[in-house]
Structure 1
Amino acid sequence: MNKQHAETSKFLSYVLRHEPQAIGLTLDREGWANIAALIAGAKQAGRALNEALIHAVVESSDKKRFAISEDGLRIRAVQGHSTHSVAITYAEKIPPEFLYHGTATRFLESIMREGLKPGERQHVHLSEDIQTATAVGQRYGKPVILKIETLRMHQQGFKFFQAENGVWLTSGVPTEYLSV
């Protein structure tokens, strides 16, 4: 991903996940925003966006953070929202036996005491593989990987969902299901 794509991806994450009002953008309950309104709001905020750049960022993203609607008129972040105006309806799924969560060693003591919590986001994000979890953990410092007994959690009534990009979502993970 080139520098322009990386900067645009960060901007899109900011406005589509956290602060749409920063550029006067409105998201619907499923997180969709009108692309023309996104471009106009970005322009007023001093950022040049166009449809070609937006499509290039969406298509080149290795993490598949964004989706464009079938009619091509709307865009959304597929997960990671902290804005409470968005409540994407994900289909409930049965998780695999184990999923993983990458974090930094500096957060480990708190997590092992309190469990995994979504913080500012709506869900805790889990990965199917250790490599992805490691990459996530490295963004926050020296990585540590937590193994979560997700099938056992599900069997005990916890709900799991999977975003369009493959990220698994749940409301939180109590400590008894966690191991390092």
Structure 2
Amino acid sequence: MSSKQLNETSKFLSYVLRHEPQAIGLQLDSEGWADIDSMIAGAAKDGRILDTALIQAVVSSSDKKRFSISDDGQRIRAVQGHSTSSVSLQHIEKEPPEFLYHGTATRFLASIRQQGLIAGSRHHVHLSQDRSTAIAVGQRYGKPVVLKIEALRMYQQGFKLFQAENEVWLTSHVPEKFLCEI
């Protein structure tokens, strides 16, 4: 399989498993799981060729560990990043490290300074443990800037933070007082 095919399939899986499962007639349960055979059939009706081997290759080759396959190999889900209201993943609350990072583009800074980091259309704000990941995320949206979050102080003040299966940290909101540009 070519890296182009893996990349295009990963983008498609992100689209249907995070945002628009109904685009191919797919049903997700409340934990985000979809039946792999149903996804293959829905994709075929949409003119996209998927098979179990390609899906498994995307899951295993993803450096960001965006997806997981169930223990029985019959279902797949995105591990975070959902905007669809049918999914409500139950992440385990966890004490974070002292600092976490968020990558964004400079054009969003004025809004962030006013309202902090908000989830927007997604269920959570995504935070990383290292600056390099945050920079890479910020570059997707324009000229990158990295925000340093006082995550442990947030947690100590009652904010809930969770860690997804792929090590991404999640929270519902980061008030401006816990942010600084670096």
Do the two structures share a fold, i.e. TM-score over 0.5? Answer: yes
Q: Does 1:14 align with 2:10?
A: no
SS in 2 for 1:62: coil
Distance 1:114 1:86 in 2: 26
Distance 2:83 2:76 in 1: 17
Partner of 2:140: 139
Q: What fraction of aligned residue pairs are identical, expressed as a percent? A: 72
Alignment of 1:1-180 (within 5 A): 2-180=3-181
SS in 1 for 2:44: helix
SS in 2 for 1:137: helix
The Cα shift of 1:40 comes to: 0.3
SS in 2 for 1:100: strand
The Cα shift of 1:113 comes to: 1.2
User: What does the per-residue CA deviation read over 1:63-96, in whole Å, with 9 as the maximum and x for residues that have no partner?
Assistant: 1100000000000000000001000011100011
User: What does the per-residue CA deviation read over 1:158-177, in whole Å, with 9 as the maximum and x for residues that have no partner?
Assistant: 00000000000000100000
Distance 1:162 1:118 in 2: 15
Unaligned runs of 5+ in 1: none
TM-score, normalisation: structure 2: 0.98
Distance 2:96 2:151 in 1: 6
The Cα shift of 1:112 comes to: 1.0
SS in 2 for 1:101: strand
Distance 1:155 1:39 in 2: 45
User: What does the per-residue CA deviation read over 1:34-56, in whole Å, with 9 as the maximum and x for residues that have no partner?
Assistant: 00000000000100000000000
Distance 2:137 2:162 in 1: 19
Q: Which amino acid aligns with 1:55?
A: Q
User: What does the per-residue CA deviation read over 1:100-147, in whole Å, with 9 as the maximum and x for residues that have no partner?
Assistant: 000000101110111000000000000000000000000001100000
SS in 1 for 2:173: coil
RMSD: 0.7
Q: Which amino acid aligns with 1:118?
A: A
Distance 1:174 1:90 in 2: 21
Unaligned runs of 5+ in 2: none
Distance 1:142 1:134 in 2: 9
